[in-house]
Amino acid sequence: MSVTPSVDVVALGESMVTFVPSRTGRLADVPAFHRTIGGAESNVACTLARTGHSARWVSRVGSDGFGDHLVDTIAAAGVDVGAVQRDPHRPTGIYFRTAGERATTLDAVPGRAEVVYYRKGSAASALSPALVQRRDVWAGRILHLTGITCALSATCKALTRRLTHREPGRPLVSFDVNHRPALWHGADPWLLAEIARGCDLVFVGEDEAQAAWGLADADAIRAALPEPATVVVKQGAAGATVFSGGERIRVPAPAVDVVAHVGAGDAFAAGFLSATLRGLPLRDRLRHGHLLAAAALTVPGDLAPPPGRAHADALAALDDTAWGRLRLGPGWTERAQEVGR
């Protein structure tokens, strides 16, 4: 059974209320926190909505104030939240983090963030094939998922398997591997590769493929994932490589004055998906991914104001020399006069 698309992208997954510190330092020493939100899939949905696309977020939250905050904040970004379910028995997930890169307490190192999750038994961890309706998740031209969801519970794993099963009428399925070591403690992360093979478009970091699967580089990743029509390998500050239709294209990332690394991968996926929806060439899809990642890298939180579409298009159209000279810092998305500099 096919469903006529009513939005550009449907993103399914857990969002949590995030508490970020009022000052730098260890969690043990931070006296107060500022409340915001975080969630890979809702980050993508919010960014796409802010770039002019229609987006829907499908999830579950608790019947609590934190759930209200999540739904209200994501709706305020222009995302359709009509398919979000409220769970009267399970709470909305929350987490606390310090400044710096996102990390986990299991692999924290000096200079990186401490992150402590309170998500076990959350409302979103109860997502299951029985609770998610096809009409909701097949309502987009693209269905976007991540590897976080399948690690939350057995029912979430079953739902992810169902949604990535190839069958007639399904939308283009996008999958960001998003390997989080703490969520896979004691489990086999090769499941992420198995799920990725059922998708049409896969995003994976070269570093996470090495950590999860022992794959050394972009070519090894593509060889391990031959089924998806398009595989995008993110290579950090060095750029990204896309494999699609027999092509292999690498685009370097612009230089960025980084404020925080949180949310950059989600923003990259949103930029690539936006350009995909618009039918842009592969090179420009990667460039739009880099530009939206740069927007996220130059703010302290997960979500950043994206550049206007005309501004982003002008930057993406630069010749290779001008693109290689780009340097983007805080506030760059608001300074259209810097286009081409």
Element (H, E) at 292: helix 282-297
Sequence-distant contacts of 48-51: CB under 8 A, at least 24 apart: 48/8, 48/9, 48/270, 48/273, 48/274, 49/77, 49/78, 49/79, 50/77, 50/78, 50/305, 50/306, 51/270, 51/271, 51/274, 51/292, 51/306, 51/309, 51/312
* Burial class of residue 333, CB neighbours in 10 A (0-12, 13-18, 19+): buried
DSSP 335: -
Q: 21-54 burial, b if ≥16 CB within 10 A, otherwise e?
A: beeeeebeebeeeeeebbbbbbbbbbbbbbbebb
29: annotated active-site residue: no
Collect all residues with Cβ–Cβ distance below 8 Å to 281 and sequence separation of at least 6: none
| Residue type present at position 93 | G
Set 200, 266, 302, 313: catalytic member: 266
**Would you please indicate which residues are annotated as catalytic (active-site) residues?**
266
